[in-house]
Amino acid sequence: MGRRGRNDHPRSRDQPGGWLEIQKLNAAFEEYYKAQNIVPQSEWETFFDKCKQTLPVTFRITGTSHHDALQIRDTLVNEYVPFLKNITWEGEEIEPPTKLPWYPDGLAWQIRVGKTVIRKSKPFARFQRFLVVETDVGNISRQEAVSMIPPLLLDVQSHHAVIDLCAAPGSKTAQLIEAVHAVADPTGIVVANDSDHKRSHMLIHQVKRLNSPNLIVTNHDAQLFPRIRIANEEESYLRYDRVLCDVPCSGDGTMRKNINVWRDWSIHNGLSLHQTQINILNRGLHLLKPGGKLVYSTCSLNPIENEAVVAQAVRMWRGKVRVVDCTELLPGLIRRKGMTAWKVMGKDKQWKDAAEDGIPASCFAQGDEVELGVENCMRVYPHDQDTGAFFITLFEKVAEAADAAPAGPLKRKAKADDVLEQNGSDKRSKLESDRSELEPIQSEADPQPLAPKRKERLPRDANEEPFKFLAADHPTIENCWKFYSIADDFPRTSLLVRNATGEPVRTIYYVHPRLHPVISLNDTKVKFIHAGIKLFAYQKTLEGICPWRVQSEGMAVLYRHIARKAGDAVRVVRCGLDTLETLCHVTFPKFNELRDKQFLNQLLALTEGCVFLEVDGGEGDKPIVFPMWRGRGSVNLMLPKQDTAELLLRVFKIENVPGNGNKKENTSPAEGTDAPAETESEAPPTADQTETDVAESVETE
């Protein structure tokens, strides 16, 4: 979501002399949308007043484990919301957080409280602490309410192949991943694509915390997204069950959070993006399976970017796609029907009656919009449910259409990018300078490539190294499998490294087997940015035993495949909540300090190295599993400090952890233990060092 300045007043620093308050007025905006009749005239003042009010904060409870998400929801409902009722601030009663009525399972919430109240009101300060801690570990994600709608309409199942063609910044992609992971071992995959190289890396930060081996991130112009081969046979290409086209747009529906809309709005913004939006939608329909579903969405009010694009796509596909009536979907969501008539204004600010001044004919209503099903589109307005504005359309592909009309000539996007830069839209797009490896949409003429641009600086942890799969019988894999007692049913052929040599040097990754041919058969055609989760990391201080640590990202995947045969020295130990709390508070507690003797005996039966720690999750719940280090004389719970703080707050109800969740360092000697105490040089890195691995990603493996 967009950010405000240090206070709640809309201000800009573009003018010399410091911060100036921006007036939430734009005569051209008001004239244009009044004439379009986007709402009845009797509602205009209510609509326009709401557009100028600050947008409430909304958030989702997230995660690839639906069970965990429901637990966090219950914690919110039972331990925080009841204490936020009947609170007055400066003489006014403060509204507590409320559920979004249309979001499934009560996992999305809205807060209509100002920052001052949250900071200075004690009950809300406690609630804010909960939000911060859960956000730090990825259990809560701040996301605008209307932005949550498109993924829900797709009805993603755990076996689906899904692509998000314009994925950055990634909040909708995260919803798609969560839907795929609705079951314990999903077979579906999610392809997250963005045309901007730098933003595709930023996208990774948004979705990486979900720890999904079923995700792959690509960097291509959505208009020209290439077909992905999945087998060596002729015409064996990946077709998608679900496609999301949340396209670049003028973004004027974000006026409540993006104050620059009021200053910069122009009719040119929507006109310049219209053809690009048609091209992306058309490409998405080509990639979609017959019987599959596609959502087209924008955060714009403009019918030129919305209904006009939808109508043109239906015309082009000649009955092979239909617009789905979503009236019965998402009960509780107030929505308006799509417009079937609209006006077109030229750059000269004059209304046009026909295609002129270079305006494409597809911008104009042509009288067939009702027949095309355009009324089934959805418009969400700010004054209906205190949200931003959004446009959503659900398509179903009835049958394949090899003879579908081309999308028309691709337009160079330099001007479109200027519009997006001006308005600060979350969606950005650009044509790639090198199109030689892409499969173009049919068009009357190929556009000229843009001049090469200077390479942007990437995030510090961006990894540009190639993906290389390891042989199933590689000695390193054999060593790890034997040491950790991993069963033979684990798909070894899905392990890879990120370096040119193809040898395991620092990190071993795991991708879902369905992604193996996607990467291996397309590495010269498709620009892959990210795939897989970290399974093992090399620990150079270990000699004579397995030097590969299990990473927390891959803990759940490996745990499901542990071979528990009689007589095997399985690296699994168990403890109760009391011992877990000790491990959260103290770094490297010595063996002789552990009160749970049964836990200690389990440790002593194992050699030095990483182990799986099972903790009883309570009656009816599955055990909670953590990575733990069994040292020569002490143990360490290998969790980053944010995860430790969250665990202490949610499980043990301990707030305000000193040092933001840092554990206390234990420096006492290991008296009375069978193993010597670890010195600083002998001990493995702490979880904050091993799990972040920032330096590792910058360097070549």
Q: At what angle do helices 171-180 and 197-207 cross, to 10 degrees?
A: 50
Kindly state the helix (H) or strand (E) to which residue 245 belongs, with its residue range.
strand 240-246
Instruction: For residues 466 and 96, give the distance between their C-alpha atoms in angstroms, rounded to a whole number.
Output: 49
Instruction: For residues 292 and 693, give the distance between their C-alpha atoms in angstroms, rounded to a whole number.
Output: 39
Instruction: For residues 235 and 252, give the distance between their C-alpha atoms in angstroms, rounded to a whole number.
Output: 42
523 to 156, 199, 249: CA distances (angstroms) = 27, 21, 31
Return the sign of the alpha-carbon dihedral for residues 461, 192, 309, 227: positive
Of 245, 299, 480, 575, the active-site residue reads 299
The answer to whether 675 and 100 have CB atoms below 8 angstroms apart is no
Using alpha carbons, select from 332, 396, 357 the residue that is nearest to residue 155.
396
**CB atoms inside a 10 Å sphere around CB 399:** 10
The answer to whether 591 and 604 have CB atoms below 8 angstroms apart is yes
The contacts of residue 213 (CB under 8 Å, 6+ apart) are 494, 510, 511, 512, 515, 532, 533, 557
Instruction: For residues 257 and 56, give the distance between their C-alpha atoms in angstroms, rounded to a whole number.
Output: 9
Instruction: For residues 462 and 127, give the distance between their C-alpha atoms in angstroms, rounded to a whole number.
Output: 34
**CB atoms inside a 10 Å sphere around CB 112:** 15
Instruction: For residues 308 and 575, give the distance between their C-alpha atoms in angstroms, rounded to a whole number.
Output: 61
Burial class (CB in 10 A: 0-12, 13-18, 19+), 95: middle
First vs last Cα of the chain: how many Å apart?
Answer: 35
Helices assigned H by DSSP within 318-438: 382-385, 414-423
Active site residue 299: yes
Angle subtended at Cα 40 by Cα 39 and Cα 44, rounded to the nearest 5 degrees: 70
Bridge partner residues of 394 (DSSP): 295
Three-state SS string over 402-434 comes to CCCCCCCCCCCCHHHHHHHHHHCCCCCCCCCCC
Radius of gyration of the chain from Cα atoms? 27
Using alpha carbons, select from 626, 635, 641 the residue that is nearest to residue 678.
635
State how beta strands 507-510 and 533-538 pair: antiparallel
Catalogue the active-site residues. Answer: 299
